[in-house]
Amino acid sequence: MGPTNIVQAGDPVLRTAANPVTEFGTPELRELVSTMIRVMQEAPGVGLAAPQIGVPLRVIVLEDEEGRMARLSKKQRDARERVPFGAIAFINPTLELLGDEQMTFFEGCLSVAGWAALVPRARTVRVTGFDVEGREVEWEVSGWPARILQHEVDHINGTLYIDKMLSRTFCAASELTGRWADSTPDEVRKALGA
């Protein structure tokens, strides 16, 4: 398959709740998941929802490899609870927030290219759904993988991170990688009056 464009904010497919998948194990569903993983990896990103490539279905993929964390110090990785995991897909996922603890870190989005903001998210979540073949799957996870899951499930519900961000921290990605690269979320919030 050739290049696949990532839909950008402003396209209605990103603001509409996606439709549930009703047929599992089909060549079309396998191809969709394969394409989504390829697009996510090439972008590069750590997650992708089907609406981000213009497909209004409740399908998400995520992956966070060691190489994506290379620019982070051990202290930054530990604070984010960022751990590597391989590519995984969830079809028709349902997300449950576990506990009251939240973590606030910068998020970006392949569909809001070039921008980032601090976003509070639940620290621990449980996702249930199905794999491509229709087998039930469940994952309870904390830290950065939980953040990715929340971000991607938001996509299939028609929500972007900008709807949940601390708006005064919204910044160009170049500011994040330059000015705020070594700052804690609290330092950024204080400096920007958020």
For the chain, domain boundaries: 12-106+121-163
Alpha-carbon dihedral 172, 173, 174, 176, rounded to 10 degrees: 100
This prediction's pTM: 0.94
- What lies within 8 Å, CB to CB, of 190 at 6+ separation is none
Known catalytic membership, residue 152: yes
Residue 1 pLDDT level (bands cut at 50, 70, 90): very low
CATH of 12-106+121-163 given 3.90.45.10, 3.30.420.40, 3.90.180.10, 3.40.50.410: 3.90.45.10
What is the predicted pLDDT for the residue at 3? 56
Give residue-wise pLDDT tens across range 8-40.
999 999 999 999 999 999 999 999 999 999 999
Q: Supply 154's token pair.
A: 């938001």
Q: Which of 94, 98, 105, 2 is nearest to 53 (CA)?
A: 2
Place of tokens 């897909």: 89
Q: Which of 66, 101, 152, 187 is catalytic?
A: 152
Q: Give every CB contact of residue 154 below 8 A, 6+ residues apart in sequence.
A: 160, 161, 163, 164
